[in-house]
Amino acid sequence: MTTTLEQRGLLIDNIHQELAAGRLSVGDAVKRLRTEVTGLHQSQFARMCRISLRTLIHIEHGDGNPTLKSLNAVFKPFGLQMGVVSLRP
Rounded to an integer, the average pLDDT of 3-28 is: 94
Residues 26 and 16 sit within 8 Å (Cβ to Cβ): no
Task: Tell me the fold of 26-78.
Answer: 434 Repressor (Amino-terminal Domain) (1.10.260)
CA–chain centroid gap for 57, Å, is: 12
The C-alpha atoms of residue 5 and residue 7 are separated, in whole angstroms, by 5
What is the residue extent of each domain of the chain? 26-78
Lowest mean pLDDT among 1-5, 8-12, 19-23, 71-75: 1-5
Q: What are the respective helix, strand and coil percentages of the chain, to the nearest 5? A: 65, 0, 35
Confidence at residue 3, expressed as pLDDT on a 0 to 100 scale: 74
